[in-house]
Amino acid sequence: MGETLQGREADLHAMDEATRRAALVEAVDYRGDCTLELADGRSVVGFLFHAHFDGAEPFLEYFPAVDGAAKERLPVSDVRRLVFSGRDTADG
């Protein structure tokens, strides 16, 4: 069994573009919820399912960790910190 990402944190604000992109792609591939700390001080928790880096405003799409919530979109530039906060459902 491989090492889980659960509990890992990444300070995206301090990363270069390539490292930030790799961390976000890893979050999309993660099979659990992530917590995103935003530039305005808010935090959102949800399941990231898409990262779009092309175009003028790269964005993430996620399902909030609230039953019945519709998908939401968030500009990548708003995200300061990433936490793999939920249990990886593929980890046993």
- In this predicted model, what pLDDT tens digit does every residue of 54-64 receive, in sequence order? 989 999 999 99
Closest residue by Cα to residue 51 from 16, 81, 84, 24: 24
Asked whether the whole model's pTM tops 0.85, one would answer yes
Query: What gap in Å lies between CA 79 and CA 51, rounded to an integer?
Result: 12
pLDDT (0 to 100) of residue 78: 96
Close Cβ partners of 8 (under 8 Å, ≥ 6 residues apart): 83, 84
Query: What gap in Å lies between CA 42 and CA 2, rounded to an integer?
Result: 32
Query: What gap in Å lies between CA 82 and CA 27, rounded to an integer?
Result: 8
